[in-house]
Amino acid sequence: MVPLCTIILCFKRGVNPRDEEYWKEVVEMTSKHSIVQLVVHWLARAISTLAAVFWLLILLDIIACDMLVGFVCMNWEIALLVTLVIFSSLSVIIAWQRERIGGTVMIIWGLVFSVIAIVTSTSQRAFSIMVSGVPFIIAGFLFLASGLWRAHTGTGSERNQLGIA
Protein backbone atom coordinates (compact mmCIF):
# COMPACT_ATOMS: atom_id res chain seq x y z
CA MET A 1 0.00 0.00 0.00
CA VAL A 2 1.41 3.37 -0.99
CA PRO A 3 1.16 6.17 1.58
CA LEU A 4 -1.05 9.14 0.81
CA CYS A 5 1.92 11.54 1.03
CA THR A 6 3.58 9.68 -1.86
CA ILE A 7 0.48 10.07 -4.02
CA ILE A 8 0.32 13.78 -3.20
CA LEU A 9 4.01 14.19 -4.10
CA CYS A 10 3.33 12.35 -7.34
CA PHE A 11 0.75 14.93 -8.37
CA LYS A 12 2.89 17.86 -7.21
CA ARG A 13 5.84 16.68 -9.31
CA GLY A 14 3.70 16.24 -12.36
CA VAL A 15 4.26 12.49 -12.62
CA ASN A 16 1.65 10.43 -14.36
CA PRO A 17 -0.01 8.31 -11.66
CA ARG A 18 -0.40 5.48 -14.17
CA ASP A 19 3.34 5.23 -14.83
CA GLU A 20 4.27 1.69 -13.74
CA GLU A 21 8.01 2.33 -13.48
CA TYR A 22 7.45 5.21 -11.09
CA TRP A 23 5.18 3.13 -8.88
CA LYS A 24 7.65 0.24 -8.78
CA GLU A 25 10.26 2.68 -7.56
CA VAL A 26 7.85 4.18 -5.01
CA VAL A 27 6.84 0.77 -3.66
CA GLU A 28 10.49 -0.28 -3.37
CA MET A 29 11.37 2.96 -1.60
CA THR A 30 8.41 2.75 0.76
CA SER A 31 9.15 -0.82 1.71
CA LYS A 32 12.67 0.18 2.75
CA HIS A 33 11.78 3.46 4.42
CA SER A 34 8.39 2.75 5.86
CA ILE A 35 6.46 5.44 7.68
CA VAL A 36 5.56 2.86 10.32
CA GLN A 37 9.25 2.19 10.87
CA LEU A 38 9.90 5.88 11.38
CA VAL A 39 7.00 6.16 13.82
CA VAL A 40 8.23 3.15 15.82
CA HIS A 41 11.78 4.54 15.80
CA TRP A 42 10.82 8.00 17.03
CA LEU A 43 8.17 6.74 19.44
CA ALA A 44 10.83 4.58 21.11
CA ARG A 45 13.13 7.58 21.36
CA ALA A 46 10.39 9.83 22.76
CA ILE A 47 9.15 7.35 25.39
CA SER A 48 12.64 6.45 26.57
CA THR A 49 13.77 10.06 26.77
CA LEU A 50 10.65 11.12 28.69
CA ALA A 51 11.07 8.22 31.13
CA ALA A 52 14.73 9.05 31.72
CA VAL A 53 13.99 12.76 32.20
CA PHE A 54 11.17 11.87 34.61
CA TRP A 55 13.53 9.82 36.79
CA LEU A 56 16.29 12.42 36.57
CA LEU A 57 13.87 15.09 37.79
CA ILE A 58 12.76 12.90 40.68
CA LEU A 59 16.40 12.30 41.61
CA LEU A 60 17.20 16.01 41.42
CA ASP A 61 14.15 16.77 43.56
CA ILE A 62 15.27 14.35 46.27
CA ILE A 63 18.82 15.68 46.29
CA ALA A 64 17.70 19.33 46.22
CA CYS A 65 15.28 18.81 49.14
CA ASP A 66 18.00 17.11 51.16
CA MET A 67 20.38 19.97 50.46
CA LEU A 68 17.80 22.55 51.54
CA VAL A 69 17.36 20.76 54.84
CA GLY A 70 21.10 20.89 55.34
CA PHE A 71 22.18 17.31 55.00
CA VAL A 72 22.15 14.66 52.31
CA CYS A 73 20.83 11.41 53.68
CA MET A 74 22.55 8.68 51.69
CA ASN A 75 20.83 5.46 52.64
CA TRP A 76 20.65 2.34 50.53
CA GLU A 77 17.42 3.45 48.81
CA ILE A 78 18.93 6.73 47.62
CA ALA A 79 22.11 4.99 46.49
CA LEU A 80 20.05 2.40 44.61
CA LEU A 81 17.92 5.11 43.02
CA VAL A 82 21.00 7.08 41.92
CA THR A 83 22.51 3.93 40.40
CA LEU A 84 19.31 2.96 38.61
CA VAL A 85 18.69 6.44 37.22
CA ILE A 86 22.26 6.80 35.96
CA PHE A 87 22.30 3.39 34.29
CA SER A 88 18.81 3.76 32.81
CA SER A 89 19.79 7.15 31.38
CA LEU A 90 22.91 5.57 29.89
CA SER A 91 20.77 2.83 28.36
CA VAL A 92 18.67 5.52 26.66
CA ILE A 93 21.82 7.05 25.19
CA ILE A 94 23.02 3.61 24.06
CA ALA A 95 19.62 2.86 22.51
CA TRP A 96 19.76 6.06 20.47
CA GLN A 97 23.04 4.85 18.95
CA ARG A 98 22.62 1.04 18.93
CA GLU A 99 18.95 0.14 18.90
CA ARG A 100 19.10 -3.59 19.55
CA ILE A 101 21.70 -3.49 22.30
CA GLY A 102 20.17 -0.44 23.96
CA GLY A 103 16.66 -1.87 23.67
CA THR A 104 17.74 -5.06 25.41
CA VAL A 105 19.47 -3.14 28.20
CA MET A 106 16.45 -0.88 28.53
CA ILE A 107 14.10 -3.86 28.93
CA ILE A 108 16.36 -5.21 31.67
CA TRP A 109 16.36 -1.87 33.51
CA GLY A 110 12.59 -1.62 33.10
CA LEU A 111 12.20 -5.03 34.71
CA VAL A 112 14.53 -3.97 37.54
CA PHE A 113 12.48 -0.80 38.10
CA SER A 114 9.29 -2.88 38.09
CA VAL A 115 10.63 -5.38 40.62
CA ILE A 116 11.76 -2.57 42.91
CA ALA A 117 8.32 -0.95 42.56
CA ILE A 118 6.69 -4.26 43.55
CA VAL A 119 8.96 -4.68 46.56
CA THR A 120 8.86 -1.12 47.88
CA SER A 121 5.27 -0.04 47.23
CA THR A 122 2.69 -0.76 49.86
CA SER A 123 -0.39 0.47 48.07
CA GLN A 124 -1.23 1.00 44.42
CA ARG A 125 1.38 -1.46 43.15
CA ALA A 126 -0.02 -1.48 39.63
CA PHE A 127 0.36 2.29 39.38
CA SER A 128 3.91 2.11 40.74
CA ILE A 129 4.87 -0.49 38.15
CA MET A 130 3.20 1.46 35.33
CA VAL A 131 5.07 4.64 36.23
CA SER A 132 8.46 3.18 37.01
CA GLY A 133 9.28 0.23 34.77
CA VAL A 134 6.71 -0.06 32.01
CA PRO A 135 7.86 2.98 29.96
CA PHE A 136 11.39 1.54 29.75
CA ILE A 137 10.04 -1.89 28.82
CA ILE A 138 7.78 -0.47 26.08
CA ALA A 139 10.58 1.73 24.71
CA GLY A 140 12.99 -1.21 24.84
CA PHE A 141 10.66 -3.40 22.78
CA LEU A 142 10.10 -0.55 20.32
CA PHE A 143 13.87 -0.10 19.96
CA LEU A 144 14.27 -3.85 19.41
CA ALA A 145 11.51 -3.83 16.81
CA SER A 146 13.05 -0.87 15.01
CA GLY A 147 16.54 -2.38 15.05
CA LEU A 148 15.35 -5.78 13.85
CA TRP A 149 13.19 -4.14 11.19
CA ARG A 150 16.19 -2.25 9.84
CA ALA A 151 18.33 -5.36 9.84
CA HIS A 152 15.60 -7.28 8.02
CA THR A 153 14.88 -4.64 5.38
CA GLY A 154 18.53 -3.79 4.84
CA THR A 155 18.09 -0.08 5.46
CA GLY A 156 21.43 0.20 7.15
CA SER A 157 23.44 -0.90 10.08
CA GLU A 158 22.65 0.08 13.61
CA ARG A 159 23.55 3.61 12.60
CA ASN A 160 20.64 5.18 10.82
CA GLN A 161 21.10 5.80 7.14
CA LEU A 162 17.67 7.38 6.72
CA GLY A 163 19.00 10.68 7.94
CA ILE A 164 16.98 10.59 11.14
CA ALA A 165 19.69 9.72 13.65
pLDDT tens column, 93-136 = 988 888 889 899 999 988 988 888 888 888 888 888 888 889 99
How many domains does the chain divide into? Answer: 1
Does the residue 85 lie in any domain?
A: yes
Does the residue 3 lie in any domain?
A: no
Residue by residue, DSSP assigns the chain as: ---HHHHHHHHHTT--TT-HHHHHHHHHHHHHS-HHHHHHHHHHHHHHHHHHHHHHHHHHHHHHHHHHHT-----HHHHHHHHHHHHHHHHHHHHHH-HHHHHHHHHHHHHHHHHHHHHH-SS-HHHHHHHHTHHHHHHHHHHHHHHHHHHHHT--SSS-SSS--
Does the residue 19 lie in any domain?
A: no
Does the residue 63 lie in any domain?
A: yes
Does the residue 60 lie in any domain?
A: yes
Does the residue 82 lie in any domain?
A: yes
Per residue in 46-101, pLDDT (tens digit) is: 999 999 999 899 888 887 877 777 666 667 777 788 888 888 888 889 888 888 89
pTM of the predicted structure, to 2 decimals? 0.69
Does the residue 68 lie in any domain?
A: yes
So what's the pLDDT on residue 144?
Answer: 92
So what's the pLDDT on residue 38?
Answer: 78
Does the residue 104 lie in any domain?
A: yes
Range(s) of the domain holding residue 113: 55-157
